[in-house]
Amino acid sequence: MRSWMLVAAAALLVGAAPKPKLLTPTDIVAQSPASAWKAIPADDLLVMDLSNGGRIVIQLAPQFAPVHVANMKALARGGYWNGATVYRVQDNYVAQWGLNESDKPWPKGVTAKPPAEYTRALKELSIKPLGSPDPYAPNAGFADGWPVAYSAKAGWADLVHCYAAVGVGRDLSPDTGTGGELYAVIGHAPRQLDRNIALVGRVIDGIDKLSALPRGTEALGFYKDKAQYVPIASIRLASDMPASERPSYEYMDTQSATFARYLHLRANRHDDFYIRPASGVDLCNVQVPVRKKA
């Protein structure tokens, strides 16, 4: 039987009925004014090229983990990741890369034992509240384009482990990791890690180059054979690339009226496909829009 079986595909099918089109979150992004967007500095973009041709672009979050992010910039500039690979892919959890148990010395400028940059002072941030309850913290919302959990009462805020979030691998506490071994979330948000590990950014382009990799069969998704490791050709800051090759991105200002409309519609889907809006939304189900600049 013919069955078009579209899941949440209303945007493609409207027009069959003459009634006015109800806006989707995607429509809000498409119709947004230029003023609703903020450019990401080239110095906050880490460009990771796999040897297989796949490119992964990471937006760094120096405002949340300044020492770890400074380390990553020093590691990139110092060529630390030459010879790095993706060596761990655990289904519904993380993909992880770096040198894996290497004794390579840290380049100049690296803080070997960074502080525990797990929370920031709430008062330093401008928050757009989520408006829905959060199971992991008293409050949730957005700050400077990032999803955050926070406590209005205790005064802390933290970056959270949503899909594509990038964090710093570490050994057992109180070690916080140096920044040479990194992971990206490729499954349902493992928010139990929030406030227990340093988050340093998020993949804003090419997460599928990690999420579609074969899963490792050893414990925790480590690849069994080194032959399975996925070689990384280079990890560079966009600011260190020739201007003509440099990718450029912008994110939606989470304090803008456009983002407020987008957030409202993410929590109240009412376009043709939906029958019952939830009147609520999970923090990690409101991806802050990010796009390549023309």
Q: Which of 117, 110, 89, 293 is nearest to 211 (CA)?
A: 89
272-280 LR contacts (CB < 8 Å, sep 24+): 272/10, 272/13, 272/14, 272/17, 272/22, 273/6, 273/8, 273/9, 273/10, 274/10, 280/131, 280/132, 280/133
Contacts with 208 (C-beta within 8 Å, 6 or more apart), sequence order: none
Task: Kindly tell me which of 15 and 242 has the beta carbon lying closer to a copy of itself.
Answer: 15
Cross-strand pairs, 127: 143
Task: Kindly tell me which of 16 and 243 has the beta carbon lying closer to a copy of itself.
Answer: 16
- Could you give the string, one character per residue 62-91, with x where binding to a copy of itself holds by CB under 8 A and - elsewhere? ---------------------------x-x
Using the rule CB under 8 A, give the single segment among 59-67, 121-129, 163-171, 227-235 that binds a copy of itself. Answer: 163-171
242: Cα within 13 Å, side-chain hemisphere: 2
Cβ at position 245, least distance to a copy of itself in Å: 23
Q: How many Å apart are CA 233 and CA 85, to the nearest integer?
A: 9
Per CB under 8 A, 92 contacts a copy of itself: yes
Q: How many Å apart are CA 115 and CA 164, to the nearest integer?
A: 23
Per CB under 8 A, 4 contacts a copy of itself: yes
Q: How many Å apart are CA 278 and CA 285, to the nearest integer?
A: 12
Cβ at position 126, least distance to a copy of itself in Å: 22
- Copy the structure tokens of residue 90: 């655990």
- Report the site for a copy of itself in 115-144 (rule: CB under 8 A): 116, 118, 132-137
Cβ at position 35, least distance to a copy of itself in Å: 28
Cβ at position 13, least distance to a copy of itself in Å: 6
Task: Kindly tell me which of 35 and 102 has the beta carbon lying closer to a copy of itself.
Answer: 102
Cβ at position 121, least distance to a copy of itself in Å: 17
Per CB under 8 A, 272 contacts a copy of itself: yes
Residue of 266, 288, 289, 290 that binds a copy of itself (CB under 8 A): 266
Per CB under 8 A, 22 contacts a copy of itself: no
Cross-strand pairs, 33: none
Residue count, binding to a copy of itself (CB under 8 A): 85
Using the rule CB under 8 A, give the single segment among 35-43, 240-248, 252-260, 279-287 that binds a copy of itself. Answer: 279-287
Chain centroid to CA 129: how far?
19
Residue with tokens 């440099």: 246
Per CB under 8 A, 212 contacts a copy of itself: yes
Determine contact, residues 242/47, Cβ cutoff 8 Å.
Answer: no
In a 10 Å sphere around its CB, with 0-12 CB exposed, 13-18 middle and 19+ buried, how is residue 89 labelled?
Answer: buried
- Could you give the string, one character per residue 164-203, with x where binding to a copy of itself holds by CB under 8 A and - elsewhere? x--x-xxxxxx--xx-xx-x---xxxxxxxxxxx------
Using the rule CB under 8 A, give the single segment among 37-45, 62-70, 214-222, 236-244 that binds a copy of itself. Answer: 214-222
Per CB under 8 A, 147 contacts a copy of itself: no
